[in-house]
Amino acid sequence: LVLFDRVTDEIECDKVIINDQEIAYEATKKLIGSGKRKIALVTTDSYFNVSKKRAEGYKAALEDNGISFEGKRVLTLPYEEIEKSKLEYFFSENEIDAVLCVNEIFAIHCMGAIQKLGMKIPDDISIIGFTDGILSRYSVPSLTTVAQHGERMGEIAAEMLIEKIETEIEQDENETYRTEIIEATLIERESTQN
């Protein structure tokens, strides 16, 4: 068994992940470096390990740069269904000048809500998302995003699995597992460029 991207510590096996906490820290720091001080986080329930790590990176970047963490600037959404009215309420009721979204879908929905409220991206609110899929490249404005290098992640996971199968290690308590960490990349586009 090899887990990738969405992993759990409860299962002992090989794993392939990205440096979620570090890249969320870097993305938040990028927003801070451009003068943003009221940075929101739009995330999923913490049972997704990636959401938890990305939130930790976000909080650490705020703290390291002298910005107080404010729970009212964190919006937790269900992964499956997004209520647009909830997003619009969040952006209209909170002072926000930037937002870090834990995935591409949330970022695109946030952009729509912000624009519907008459605000401009990135002039009023800058946005960074995760995934770097087709939506990020072709949204208006284009979305600054974290490239997770999914193809590379899949290649490494497949190589690890094939290696385990070919070596036919007997299952015993001495079996070792490893976690490969892929370095994600921040790709800057129009949603953060003033």
Residue-level pLDDT, tens digit, the chain, 194 residues: 899 988 888 889 999 999 999 999 999 999 999 999 999 999 987 656 788 899 999 999 999 999 999 999 999 998 777 888 999 999 999 999 999 999 999 999 999 999 999 999 999 999 999 999 999 999 999 999 999 999 999 999 999 999 888 886 555 556 789 999 999 999 999 999 86
Query: What pLDDT does 183 receive?
Result: 97
Going across the sheet that includes 14-18, the strands are 2-4, 14-18, 179-182
How far apart, in whole angstroms, are the C-alpha atoms of residue 21 and residue 60? 9
Going across the sheet that includes 74-76, the strands are 74-76, 39-43, 98-101, 126-131, 144-147, 185-187
